[in-house]
Structure 1
Amino acid sequence: MSLITLTTDFGTKDHFVGAVKGAIYSELPDAKIVDITHHISPFNITETAYILKNAYKSFPEKTIHIIGVDSELSKTNKHIALELDNHYFICPDNGLISMIASEIKPTKIVEINIHNHIESSFPVLDVFVQVASHIARGGSLNVIGKEINSYKNIVEIQPKINQDQTVIIGGVIYIDNYGNVITNINKKLFNTIGKGRDFTITASRYTFNKVYNRYNEIVDYSAKDNNQFDGEKLAIFNSAGFLEIAIYRSNLDTVGGASNLLGLEYRSTITIEFKTVITPEFTTIN
């Protein structure tokens, strides 16, 4: 039985998701299909990359991941299939792989060339399903495309570091269901550059000097009313290891979330400035 995941910006109102699933079952009646999400913001590549990077690792090896975001074929947006971390990905070469492959490099990448035999304005249905079915049957990637050595990179996904390594400049790449704001700065980079130094995180006009590991670390359980901490802002390394600006027990319908309460949105700049360690000067006495 083949396990195939779907990640798209199709939504669930239209026929697109149903048509793709029907085509997979027509090719592979015993397939198991899992929806990661169909509610990616339209054409949002960084959001796609963040969600997929943190979801695919929970699936068994050899899972096939079909990604339908910004998937229309063009001269600058080719279609690729690749093997990475013992998983298969079928997607447009629009830069989303550069985040997924930031730490683990692909074993093999091919540029899909079966378009020569298929005319389609809906490549996820007509092309990606065919590729997924071929892989599920044990077929080689080389049969459906020519091997290539590179893929498109998105610069905005990668945070920048100043020359003397005292400042990390990142940005917002995703806003979750609670309104929490996720940045492209991960804990590994923070620790590597920070080296235990004091720091100031600046997000819009707000600053933070501490990063929590759990949301409820902000609560003082000796207080008479723990609810007084609801709505407090905090910085945290989330379960995916990325720096997040959050509101404790946020609710977009009542308390609000970090995105609207702090005025942060997709691509907003987040800066971390580490304090410079001053080496004391010593005078030699003769």
Structure 2
Amino acid sequence: MPDNPIITFTSDFGSREHYVGAVKGVLLGACPNATIVDISHDVGSHDLLEAAFVVAAAYPFYPTRTVHLVVVDPTVGSNRRGIIACTESAYFVAPDNGVLSLVYANEPAVRVIVIEADHYFRKPVSATFHARDVFAPVAGRLAGGTEFENFGSPITDYVKFAPPPVHKLADNKVEGIVLHIDKFGNAITNITPEEVRRLMGREARPALVRINGKEIKAYRRYYAESNADEPFSLLGSTGYYEIAASKTPAARLLEIRRGNKVEVEFQ
């Protein structure tokens, strides 16, 4: 057993119910010396894209061999598969429903197996709580040192959705979408400096942002650099360009919703 196994846990279970606590109990039963880290349990109910974003934003910062348990599972109890994805530095235990799509997009090499070894499951298996009875015991055993290959067979037809694309509209203009709105009301787009460089062939900084018929001309390095209630763009810590305001949620100020189109002109 590894000396200091780490298991992260992401779900849409919230904090009011017993679900998170029950899953953690099973994890500790399977791997008593594990450190369990909650990434988030406030993902919107059944919101696969939000869960994919949250996991992708957090997992790169964990030590090698960390096991990431990700359960947002709208079709629990159906014939959807359970999987383990293995990258060069981490493992992911999740339903096969696309929730790991941004991990697949970020990683140069991913191996995936379908979970078949049901002797690891907690019995009886509830048709409505695979997080507790299927995914938690598997994640715990994996963190405890059971080999990845022991849990099932390799597959290549795992479910993934393509990340929302960024389009080039003109030599200095691209169009993306609002990918995520965080707790502070910052609207995180799907536009990155790397994607701008790929599309435009040069380094560039936002000069004008258009969203919902409004124009944003200010660009800042950090949130407090702006005047109160002044909307601005900046490069956020997740590596995406954001729309923010210093002391007012930008999403409320500009009536931004996730999925809104964003045009950005670069200088």
TM-score range, shorter chain: 0.7 to 0.9
Q: How many residues are treated as equivalent by the alignment?
A: 257
Q: What letter corresponds to residue 136 of structure 1 in structure 2?
A: A
Q: What letter corresponds to residue 131 of structure 2 in structure 1?
A: V
Report which stretch shifted further, 58-67 or 143-152.
143-152
Q: Distance in 2 between matches of 1:188 and 1:73?
A: 40
Secondary structure of the corresponding residue to residue 88 of structure 1: strand
- Of the three residues 94, 106, 110, the one matched with 1:107 is 110
Are positions 1:171 and 2:163 aligned together? Answer: no
Q: Distance in 2 between matches of 1:185 and 1:150?
A: 28
Secondary structure of the corresponding residue to residue 265 of structure 1: coil
Aligned residue in 1 for 2:141: 134
Are positions 1:214 and 2:229 aligned together? Answer: no
The superposition leaves residues 85-136 of structure 1 with CA deviations (integer Å, 9 ceiling, x where unpaired) of: 4111001222232212323134321111245976432111111112112212
Give the superposed CA RMSD: 2.4
Q: Distance in 1 between matches of 2:213 and 2:169?
A: 25
Q: Distance in 2 between matches of 1:5 and 1:95?
A: 18
Report which stretch shifted further, 200-209 or 240-249.
200-209
Aligned residue in 2 for 1:284: none
Q: Distance in 1 between matches of 2:144 and 2:47?
A: 31
Q: 1:93 to 1:199 in 2, by over 3 A?
A: farther
Aligned residue in 2 for 1:151: 158
Structure 1 residues not aligned, in runs of 5+: 219-228, 251-256, 276-286
Aligned residue in 2 for 1:86: 89
Q: Distance in 2 between matches of 1:271 and 1:10?
A: 34
The superposition leaves residues 232-274 of structure 1 with CA deviations (integer Å, 9 ceiling, x where unpaired) of: 1001110111111111133xxxxxx111110111211112356
Q: What letter corresponds to residue 267 of structure 1 in structure 2?
A: G
Of all paired residues, the percent bearing the same amino acid is 29
Q: Distance in 2 between matches of 1:265 and 1:74?
A: 31
Secondary structure of the corresponding residue to residue 21 of structure 1: helix
Aligned residue in 2 for 1:74: 78
8 Å Cα contact 1:183/1:243 also seen in 2? yes
Q: Note the C-alpha offset of 1:192.
A: 2.8
8 Å Cα contact 1:200/1:207 also seen in 2? yes
Structure 2 residues not aligned, in runs of 5+: none
Q: Note the C-alpha offset of 1:209.
A: 4.2
Q: 1:48 to 1:111 in 2, by over 3 A?
A: same
TM-score by length of 1: 0.81
Report which stretch shifted further, 241-250 or 129-138.
129-138
Q: Note the C-alpha offset of 1:166.
A: 5.6
Q: Distance in 2 between matches of 1:159 and 1:199?
A: 21
Secondary structure of the corresponding residue to residue 158 of structure 2: coil
Q: Note the C-alpha offset of 1:164.
A: 6.6
Q: 1:167 to 1:74 in 2, by over 3 A?
A: farther
Aligned residue in 1 for 2:232: 234
Are positions 1:122 and 2:129 aligned together? Answer: yes
Runs of 4+ in 1 over 6 A off after TM superposition: none
Q: 1:40 to 1:114 in 2, by over 3 A?
A: same
Q: Distance in 2 between matches of 1:62 and 1:217?
A: 39
The superposition leaves residues 45-78 of structure 1 with CA deviations (integer Å, 9 ceiling, x where unpaired) of: 1211221112112211111110111252534x42
